[in-house]
A and B are shown apart, each in its own frame.
With several copies, the nearest count.
Chain A
Amino acid sequence: MDAKEIIARRVAREIRPGMLVNLGIGLPSLVANYVPGDSGVYFQAENGVIGLGARPPEGMAEPNLTDAGGGFVTAVPGAASIDSAMSFGLIRGGHLDMTVLGGLQVDARGYLANWTVPGRMVPGMGGAMDLVVGARRVVVAMLHTAKGECKIVPECTLPLTAERRVSLIVTELAVIEPTEAGLVLRERGPGISVDEIRAATEAPLHVAGDVPEMELGA
């Protein structure tokens, strides 16, 4: 199982039946693959649909039904079309149960930076800032390191996405919960020891008692 699959499988277990969930582009979008089809979960795409379905079969794409990345999708029975105002009303008004987003850095305060590397990558924040401010739970799904550098740092050096403490960080090495008191190590990746996680993490980690290994489902 590769690192991304570990992360996607573990994040999927955070999703409860009936939730309204927004998945970011890239790694977070893989999470949908591990959510049971009969769970009554509704996926929202911020461009305006609740009840996002799978990619359409070859030749059956509808040009007016895409996800936030612009890719063709389908919709489940009971789906709803919404305009951008309603879409972000749902996000900002606390109606979105969970968002899963990628990260460039998360710091000891639980603050996320995930939208820009000044001078190098300035794509715009899209809906990321709204999602982090407004979603009930913000789960960061990311690799533990990028180009050898740890992404979990004492304090973000990149511009923040929001001043909000995210709910959970899931990497291939660890599940970490940001709390008032700092980052708490909750689970270990498959076959990874607490010491290995500490060694790979720049930010201080609190460890209380036994740290179980992630459960990743069937």
Chain B
Amino acid sequence: MKTAIRPEVAAEMIGEGSTLLVGGFMGVGSPLRLIEAIRNRGTGGLTIVCNDLCTPDRAVGTLVVSGQVRRAIVSHIGLNPVAQKKMMAGEMEIELVPQGTLVERIRAGGYGLGGVLTATGLGTPVEEGKQVVEVDGRRYLLERPIRGDFALLASHHADYAGNLAYVLTAHNFNPIMALAATTVIAEAEHIVPVGMIPPDAVKTPGVLVDHLLGRA
């Protein structure tokens, strides 16, 4: 059984320089209260792994503006001009990863695989410095697994066993990131008693979740 904690208590767990896997796609499916608590606490030197850096005023985008992000591993920063400026100025290190490769690298980290063999990125700047493996005469990039110190997830429903159920396009990276971090913190729109989420609707089993954020 998980005890629901306040966002500021969750933020205190996260030390300077932590690597955070953050669910969400342009902020949809991102744990907004948790991110706000991290911004309020001011923890710096963070590495953010997320689909994108959102916009400067929303979700992980705000942590970029506040200067708390040292490094980001993302597929897209096009709608966050602050991030682009910081990258150009060398104030922030940004590794741009094809979206499909990003999710598979995180999955590999969580599923105990040694890496990802993909044709995506071959013949592009993404190939630079990477091992190429040939399988049955075809070439694939070997992309390394990604793991985080924390996964910060958002879901629609949670129960107090930690089971999570997502809706519509708010799934995105959340169910994959749930396996790829040392500590998993989930922020749900609704927390329900154990047994209220049918087993077939659970997309992240509670055994993966360490902490739940209490209701707002």
Contacts and interface: CB of A to CB of B under 8 A. Distances in A.
A8 interface: no
A134 B173 CA distance: 20
A124 B168 CA distance: 25
Q: How large is the interface on B (under 10, 10 to 19, 20 to 34, 35 or more residues)?
A: 35 or more
B123 A162 contact: yes
Interface string A75-103: 10111111111101111111100000000
B174 A83 contact: yes
A90 B207 CA distance: 10
15 contacts: A47-B26, A64-B29, A64-B168, A78-B194, A79-B199, A80-B206, A83-B174, A92-B119, A94-B112, A123-B76, A124-B75, A129-B100, A133-B119, A134-B100, A163-B123
A174 interface: no
B174 A63 contact: no
B26 A70 contact: yes
B213 interface: no
B33 interface: no
A86 B87 CA distance: 30
Max chain B CB contacts within 10 Å: which of A94, A130, A159?
A: A130
A196 B185 CA distance: 51
B70 to A, nearest CB: 18
Given A70-B28, A82-B171, A160-B124, 10 more contacts: A47-B169, A47-B172, A68-B25, A90-B179, A124-B76, A124-B77, A125-B98, A125-B126, A126-B76, A130-B100
Q: How large is the interface on A (under 10, 10 to 19, 20 to 34, 35 or more residues)?
A: 35 or more
A50 B178 CA distance: 15
Given A70-B28, A78-B206, A84-B176, A49 B168 contact: yes
Interface in A118-153: 122-130, 133-134
Nearest to B195: A77
Interface string B150-178: 00000010010101001111111111100
A7 interface: no
A24 interface: no
A126 B119 CA distance: 16
Given A78-B161, A130-B98, A130-B100, A84 B168 contact: no
B120 A162 contact: yes
Contact of B199 (A81, A159, A161): A81
B148 interface: no
B31 interface: no
A40 interface: yes
Interface string A192-213: 0000000000000000000000
Contacts of B208: 90, 95
A129 B98 contact: yes
A48 B26 contact: no
A68 B104 CA distance: 18
A92 B26 contact: no
Contact of B179 (A47, A89, A133): A89
Contacts of A160: 123-124
Given A78-B159, A89-B112, A129 B169 contact: no
A83 B99 contact: no
Contacts of B104: 85, 88
B205 A80 contact: yes
